[in-house]
Amino acid sequence: MLIVLIVLAAWIGLGLWLQRRRPAWRGPWWGISLLALATAAFFWQQLSGVAYTPADGGDLASFLYPIYAFAQRSLHAGHLPLWNPHLYLGAPHVADVQAGWLYPPTLLTLLLTPALTYRHLELLSIAHFFWAGAGMFFLLRSLLTSPDATSEQAPAGLTWWAALAGSLAFMFSDPLLTHFGNYNLLATASWLPWILWAYRAQSTQVDFAPVAATSSRPASRPASRPASRPLLAGLCLGIATLAGHPQTILIIVLALAALTLLEIYFTPSPRRTPALALTGRLLITLALAFLLAAPVLLPAALHTPFTQRADFSYGQASQFSLSPSQWIGLVVPAFFGRGPQLHWGPWDRVEVGYLGILPLVLALLAVLLHPDRRAWRWLALAGVGMALALGFYSLPHGWLTLLPGFAQLRAPARFLLLTDLGLAVLAAYGLHGLLSPWDPPAGQAVARVWRLLKGAAAAVLAIGLPLIYLALLLTQDREQTVFIRVAVAAIGITTLAGLLLATLAIFHARRANWARPATLGALACLLILLDLGSPGATLDSSPKDPTAAYQQPQILAFLRQQPGAWRLDARTDIEQLWQPNTALVAGLDDIWGIVNPLVLADVRATGKASGRPAAPARCTISSVRSL
């Protein structure tokens, strides 16, 4: 608590100093402060100790907590955790790209805490939600305040309200919130807006104007930026790589490549010189990132060809695809049950891309306000993410697996990270355009969205709600599982109706000039936070510590008394009592561990005939029988 108070006092002191010495930074200071406050409000249960997330711990408890505990024990003993002698008959820990112990925030946590707990990992995850929002805030401010996006008509204070709204939509969106328990994924993804913020300084700049633009192409120019900016983008990408989630890194690289190609395409002829410059800067960014992450990437590159992941079929690589039936989750995320406890349907439970109703409406408004390349750039990025997230339901994902690295990765639905980032950017531009003074084309665009919004609200109120409540009445005497599913869907559709009405109220207040634009900007941000936080903050939570299963003092005391050299084999259907990686936490030796596709294929194949990996002659599993 003392540390929190010191940090808070220092932050307030910084704000007072900026107020006097750096007035231009007052907006960012307030924006970052509100994002921190929103993060604390969203995760109040975890921060106050009321609940743990995920409820069963997910990868955070079963996989990441043990390997971080092992790394911490090694570091405190004075040596690097290069080799894991405890699991899988011994394994090269440095070659496991998911280990992530070199990632600076993780490394500092391991060095500065006496004993790692699940709360420490939760705090790291929560901090990276804030980090994602802060990066998005800086990205959006740079877009909205660029020379090509300024307007004498637009009040300067509207920029950071629009940036704040887009940041909230992205940082609490489904692709991030679903993976609270995948800390390495979340940490890597949180760097995406920071990387784009640094990288956009390397590209041809034509950004959103706050008022409507004509359909004709505006002139563009190569950006004149310091040569250090490619180094900054590479630095951010390299740090993100150390967090330990290769799939998300490849998604970020794909985003950089896509945005670079779009910049080249939209550059007026002759394109050759700008194309060479943009391509060169992309290569510089990637090269620097590779050099920074080489201690992780090089061992992983040597190790991965000998693992199960190297032999993935396309069927395995396309597991956890986004089914087209799940598109309804963009507006009703709870329709098929949002958490693992209530999920149903013949498809896998994956993120569905929900980032709020108001941001979706604002994204549509942005496209209508700016029917030119400035909107299409981000809309195209969102479309690429959606097409690839469909996995085996669409051709593009199959083509992508022909590129190096992508064939060894599952869960195509994670490409929705790009979709939600693109939509969040558009939402910020849409709010900026809504709150700014309108010229005639802008007024027409707002009127079109207003009519569409009224029609959608009327349809949900007149058709959707009566039908779902009728289904609720007709299924109350059915099997309880069916009734619960209908009830959850009814809650989702009722929530949709309320959010549509709230969005209508904001649009009507702006059209009727009932409130100042800044007030409406604040209300829009509050609505986005309530929309995403009301169901999301309690998603998949439990009052029970997920790492409690590792606390087995009697069993551990018994095992440590066993004489001689031996290894444990705990694969005896006792996962509820004994986590597969408990030996790693306790410092014992096991011949196996949790299922991991990066285990050497020879070790895995050894056990196919007998159903378990063969133990060396010196090993005994007699103690296992006592469990």
CA distance 401 to 250: 12
* Residue 350 and residue 320 in contact, taking contact as beta carbons nearer than 8 Å: yes
Query: What pTM was estimated for this model as a whole?
Result: 0.89
The C-alpha atoms of residue 449 and residue 361 are separated, in whole angstroms, by 8
CB 52 within 8 A of CB 541: yes
| Listed residue (155, 146, 151, 135) closest to 369, CA to CA | 151
The model's confidence at residue 200, banded by pLDDT at 50, 70 and 90, is: confident
DSSP state of 558: H
What is the distance of C-alpha 277 from the center of its chain? Answer: 31
DSSP category for residue 146:
S
How far is residue 464's CA from residue 466's CA, in Å, rounded to a whole number?
6
Helix (H, G, I), strand (E, B) or coil at 84: strand
d(CA 268, CA 220): 7
Confidence (pLDDT) at 41: 92
Q: What is the mean pLDDT of residues 169-175?
A: 95
- Region 242-251: what's the mean pLDDT? 94
pLDDT band of 616, cuts 50, 70, 90: very low
Question: Confidence band (pLDDT; 50, 70, 90) for 303?
Answer: confident
3-state class (DSSP) for residue 307: strand
pLDDT at 158 over 80: no
- Lowest-confidence region among 41-45, 88-92, 322-326: 88-92
State residue 455's pLDDT score: 95
Residue 19 confidence (pLDDT): 64
Q: Tell me the C-alpha distance between 34 and 378, whole Å.
A: 25
Tell me the pLDDT band of 612, cut-offs 50, 70 and 90.
Answer: low
pLDDT per position as a tens digit, 347-390: 888 999 999 999 999 999 999 988 777 788 899 999 999 999 99
β-pair partners for 52: 542
Burial label for 591, CB within 10 Å (0-12, 13-18, 19+), is buried
How sure is the predictor about 3, in pLDDT bands with cuts at 50, 70 and 90? low
Q: Are 170 and 418 in contact (CB under 8 A)?
A: no
Tally of CB atoms within 10 A around 439 = 12
Highest mean pLDDT among 51-60, 123-132, 142-151, 546-555: 123-132
Share above pLDDT 90 across residues of the chain, in percent, rounded to a whole number: 48
C-alpha dist (Å) from residue 502 to 201, 467, 494, 530? 37, 22, 13, 11
pLDDT tens per residue, range 73-97: 999 999 999 999 988 888 898 998 9
Which of the four pLDDT bands, split at 50, 70 and 90, describes residue 266? confident
Are residues 297 and 100 in contact, defined by beta-carbon separation less than 8 angstroms? Answer: no
Q: Where is mean pLDDT largest: 86-90, 190-194, 228-232, 274-278?
A: 190-194
**Residues 209, 211, 212, 214, CA torsion sign:** negative
The two tokens of residue 143 are 């877009």
Decide if 191 contacts 170 (C-beta within 8 A): no
